[in-house]
Every structure is written in structure tokens, then in C-alpha cells.
Structure 1
Amino acid sequence: MSNRGYDVVVDVDAEVKLRQSTMRSTRIILTRIKGDLGHTDLQEDLEFHSSNFDDTQTRANKITPDTNASFLPGGTANRSSGTSKRYLWSLAFYAQFFDVDTNEVLRRCQAAIFPRARFLDVLDGNPDLYGPFWIATTVVMILFLTGTISQYLARKGHDHFAYDFKLLSGAAGLIYGYTGIIPLGLWGALRWFGSESANLLECWALYGYANLIWIPVALISWSPIPILNYVFVAVGFAISGLFLWRNLYPVLSATDVRTSKILLIVVVALHAGLAIAINVLFFA
């Protein structure tokens, strides 16, 4: 019994000593590690910067207008073709062309009727399609109404008068076609001859606001006196033609002298054709 108890005491003392030795070794190792870390250069190499993740994500999600296209105002930004194509199909791309209020549209209409400064300066690099669209639509409706009145007065005394709705489609085709296609062709010609100042939106806005004079002309050109109607239409042609010439001449002068003269003659001739068509189709 005594020998077995002695063995147990020896085993306990050995186990205690082993634990104490292990603890001392652990303290020594931790002390060495702490000393090594105290002399490391990690603190000199590490620098902490404020995170710009939110700003980067915000800039990535924000879509700015594509001003690199040649028909947009400005044309100073450089964007990838993929981004431009995606933005072309978004509603915001077309909303920027209607970014005007009523006061601004009225101011531009006044500048078109009573020009004191160049209309392109009035646009101030922000041409719109809102005014040109509604001006053209108003001209179409008034031409249809006054043309119908003119036909009614010419056929007065007949038993029955039938409305000619071809006047409506004819007015729409004439005004929308002239306002949309002629500026597009002019812009294409200017680009072809190397003019860097050509801007499609400005051309559309210029021709669109030039149509404003046809509203009062149409309102007073329904009389049964043909010569009087010719005079009214001629006055409208002179005012709108002078308006176009005054604003397009500096742009056309960006090409060579011969080309600018030819383009100016074509512009005046096409505008005269519009005036003749209005008089013949609706008030003759």
C-alpha cells in the first residue's frame, strides 16, 4: 500500500511541474512575439484612407447627358459608344430636349417675331424641341381651319358643303415634313462640306420657331380676295425668310464662299416653295 501511495505522489508532482513548465514556456514565447512585434515596420507601412466606395458607386450609377454626339449642344464630353447607346434608349435622353419652361418658350417666340439679337444667341446653347413641336402643331390646325373657311366662302351658295379632311393631312405633311426634313438635310450638307459649327438641334429649333409667323398669317388669309391672301403670305415669307437668313448666314459662311452661296440660295428657294404651297393648298 505504501509503495503504491508513493508512486501516486510522485506522479502528481510530475504533472504539476509539467504544467508549470508549460506555462513558463508559453510566457517566454509570448514575450518574444511581443518584442518582435514591437520592432516591426508594419506601423510605418500601413496607412489608413477614408473609403470612397459610396462616391464611386454614386458616380457609376449617375447618368450624365451624352454631349459627344454631333447633333447635341456642346459636344465636348467623350463617352464610350456602349454607354451612349444605352443612354439613347432612355427617357432622360429625350427629356433634355424639352427642358424649358413656359416663360423661356415665350421669350424665344418673341425673339423669333421681333428679332433684336441672333436667335442662336437667344438659345444660349440649349435648343429645345418643345416649342417647335407645338408651334408646328398649331400651324397645322389653324391652316386646316382657315383653309376650310376659305373653301366654305368660295363655295357659298351651294346646297351642301363637305369638309375636306385632306387639308388636315396635307397641312401635317407639309409643315411637319418641312420642319423636320429640311433642317436635317441642311445639317447633313454642312457636315459634308466640313462645317464644325453645324448642330442639328439648333437647326430644328431655328426652323421650328420660324414657323411661328404662319400662325397670324393663316388667321388673316382666309378672305375670298386672292390677291390679299397672296400679300399676307408674301409678308409671312419675307419675315420668316429674313429670320432664317440672319441666323443661318454665319453658319453657312463656315464653308467656302461658293458652297455657302449655293446653300443660302437653296434655303431661300425651299422656304419660298413652302410659302407658295401654303397659299395654293389652303387659300387660293
Structure 2
Amino acid sequence: MASTNDPFQFQEFEEAGNLLEANRDATTISIEDDDMPERQRKAAGFTPDVDDKDPHASDDKTELLSGQNKSAPFWTFEYYQRFFDIETHHVKERIIGSMLPWPGKNFIHVHLRRSPDLYGPFWICTTLVFALAISGNFSNLLLNLGKPGHKYSPQFGKVTIAATAIFSYAWFVPLALWGCLLWRNNKIMNSVSYSFMEIVCVYGYSLAIYIPAVVLWIIPFEWLRWCSIVVALCLSGSVLVMTFWPAVREDHPKVIAAIMSAIVLLNVLLAVGCKAYFFSKPEASLSAAPSAALQLTKAPSAT
């Protein structure tokens, strides 16, 4: 018969049983239970760790899981701020890709990767504006250098004209093309579609090749100027044609010809118009001025 003071007897279970018999309404709690209800944790005096839960992190996780990213309206500064957040090597790659197009490679798919920027197009257009105005003034200075009676006066108005022409081409032409492509995609349900910012980005980078061409226009040789125009037109036009060809190739042949012709024609008009206005020869006006002066001096002697 076992002794009542046996040290191997589990006394704690007997004590727990006696306590439960004394108070049958008591609630037992297991601390090791991970699935403890919140009400029992509060009753036991356990308070949740506030630091472990970040409401902002849960909101971000919910936003990412739902796939709904908050985007600012297009009339706010925050909307355009993300288009200027780009690395320098990405801008360099896009400039090189616009100057050296490769057959069969789409500029948007290869270089933009659905992340267009406005940093590169803005500075390319600005650089081209000042390159046109400065090169035009410097070319005019070289043509009239050493001529008697010539007084050089810088034409600052050319900066305004160049800015109007370049930025109008870089913004209004993509806007018209985007509207046309959007209208045709609704008609034929084309699988390839571009956003307005992607089209603006392509047009902005396509103007990069004209900057070295404009610098070469300072040299007063017409054959060199026309050769540089042809090379710049071929490179810039090929980038535009290869980029927008997938968006129109499933359309009607007449529509394809009209859109592609308009893209190439506007590019040619920009290059030829800038060359004709900023680098035109003033020999006719200069030769007409001395003859008019001679007639005015001879008129009083005849009377």
C-alpha cells in the first residue's frame, strides 16, 4: 500500500482538481496555446504588443495586394514628378538608342520598358533650341565677317522662334498622333497601344540627332549642311517609323500610308524649315541695299 507522503505522487494535479471542485466557474488558460482568443488574453492580463503591428505597413500591404496604386491627378505637380525620376545611365542609353536605331527593335519596348520620362526630352528640346539660335547667329557672323559696313547685332528673337517650333513639334504632334492611334485602336481593336507620355518621350529623344547636325550647320558649306540633314532625317525618321509601325500595321493600308507619311513629312518639314530660316543666305538683301543707296545718292545730282 502506497504511503500518502510518497514523493513521486503528482500533488499538483490533486491540488488543481481540488481547486476546480471548489470553483467550477473558473476559466483555465494555457499559456502555450497560440490560438488563445482575444477575450481570454485580456482576462488573463496579456496585452498585445503594439509595436509589432504597423498600421501603415498593413495599409501598404493591402494596397499592393489589391493592385490599386494611388495616382495623383494629371494637373498636379506630383503626377509629373515621377517622369523626372530617372537615372543618368538610362538617359544615356535612350539617347544612344535614338541616334543608332537597329532594324526590328522598337524604341519603346527596348529602351522605355513602360517607364517613359520627360527629363531627357525636355533637356534635348532646350539644348536644340539654343543650338539653333546660337549656330544661326554664329553662321551669320561668319558669312559677313570682313565685309565693309557690316555691323553685327545678335538676333535674340530667334530663340523665341526656335522654342516655339521645337516645343510645338515635341508636344502637339505627339498629341495628334496619340489621338489618332486611340481612335484607330477603338476601330480595329489593335493589341499594341501607346500612352501619350510614351509618344512624347519617343519624339523628344528622336530630336537628339539634330543637335550635332545643327552644330555642323555653322560651317558655311551647303553640301555639308544638306548631307547632315539627310543623315539626321534618316536616323530620326527610322526611330519614329519602327516605333509606331506595330501600332498601325493591322489597320487599313490607306490609313497606314497616311499616318506613316504624316510622321515622316512633319519630321522633314521641321528639319528643312529650321535650316531655311536660321541658316538662309543674306546675299540678296545685302546686294540690294548698296544698289538702293547708290540710287539715292545719284538722285540729287541728276536734278
Is 1:103 aligned to 2:89, yes or no?
A: yes
The corresponding residue for 1:171 is 162
Distance 1:163 1:90 in 2: 37
- Aligned identity (percent) is 27
Q: Structure 2: state its 5+ residue gaps.
A: 1-19, 29-34, 42-47, 281-303
Distance in 2 of aligned mates of 1:187 and 1:138: 25
8 A contact 1:230–1:279 mirrored in 2: no
Q: 1:190 to 1:33 in 2, by over 3 A?
A: farther
Higher helix share: 1
Following superposition, the deviation at residue 206 of structure 1 comes to 0.7
Against the structure 1 CA distance between its residues 257 and 161, is the aligned structure 2 distance closer, same or farther, given a 3 Å change threshold? Answer: same
Per-residue CA deviations over 1:69-128 (Å, capped at 9, x if unaligned) read xxxxxxx9556xxx545686353x323212221111111111111123321112222211
The superposition leaves residues 184-223 of structure 1 with CA deviations (integer Å, 9 ceiling, x where unpaired) of 1111111122256121121111111110110110011123
Instruction: Report whether the alignment pairs 1:155 with 2:144.
Output: yes
Indicate how the Cα distance of structure 1 residues 209 and 59 shifts in structure 2: closer, same or farther if over 3 A, else same: farther
Give deviations 1:34-72, integer Å, cap 9, x for gaps: 434559xxxxx972397899444345479x89xxxxxxx
Q: Which residue of 2 aligns with 1:5?
A: none
Deviation at residue 181 of structure 1 after TM alignment:
1.3
Question: 1:191/1:163 Cα in 2 relative to 1: closer, same or farther (>3 Å)?
Answer: same
Q: Secondary structure at the match of 2:209?
A: helix
Unaligned runs of 5+ in 1: 1-30, 40-44, 66-75
- For 2:262, the equivalent position in structure 1 comes to 266
Q: C-alpha distance in 2, partners of 1:86/1:208?
A: 23
1:205 counterpart (198, 201, 204): 201
Q: Does the 8 Å contact 2:129/2:163 carry over to 1?
A: yes
Equivalent residues of 1:197, 1:254 under 8 A apart? no
Who is 2:107 aligned against?
119
Distance of aligned partners of 1:114 and 1:164 in 2 relative to their CA distance in 1, 3 Å threshold: same
The structural deviation recorded for 1:257 is 3.6
Q: Which amino acid aligns with 1:155?
A: N
Query: Is residue 283 of structure 1 aligned with residue 274 of structure 2?
Result: no
The equivalent position to 2:210 in structure 1, one of 214, 227, 235, is: 214
Letter in 1 for 2:213: V
- Say if 1:197 and 1:251, in contact at 8 Å, map to a contact too: yes
Match of 2:119 in 1: 130
- Given residue 154 of structure 1, which amino acid in structure 2 is its aligned partner? L
Distance 1:159 1:272, change over 3 A: closer
Conserved in 2, the CA contact under 8 Å of 1:147 and 1:282? Answer: yes
> RMSD of the alignment, in Å?
3.5
Cα deviations by residue, 1:122-160 (Å, 9 ceiling, x for unpaired):
222221111111111111111111110122233331431
Corresponding position of 2:37: 47
Larger Rg: 1
TM-score of the pair, normalised by structure 2:
0.67
Contact 1:190 1:255 in 2 (8 A): no
Other-structure match for 2:285? none
Instruction: Give the counterpart letter for 1:178 in structure 2.
Output: Y
Amino acid at match of 1:188: G
Q: 3-state SS of the aligned residue for 2:206? A: helix
Distance 1:228 1:244, change over 3 A: same
Cα distance per residue 1:201-253 (max 9 Å; x no partner): 21111111110110110011123333432332222112211121111111222
The residue that corresponds to 1:10 in the other structure is none
Given that residues 213 and 236 in structure 1 are in contact (C-alpha distance below 8 angstroms), is that contact kept between their aligned partners in structure 2?
A: yes
Evaluate the alpha carbon distance shift between residue 258 and residue 34 of structure 1 in structure 2; reply closer, same or farther with a 3 A threshold. Answer: farther
1:226–1:283 CA contact under 8 A, matched in 2: no
Matches within 5 A, 1:53-68: 54-60=53-59
SS in 2 for 1:128: coil
Q: Number of residue pairs matched?
A: 238
In structure 2, distance between residues paired with 1:87 and 1:77 = 20
**CA distance 1:189–1:33, shift in 2 (3 Å):** farther
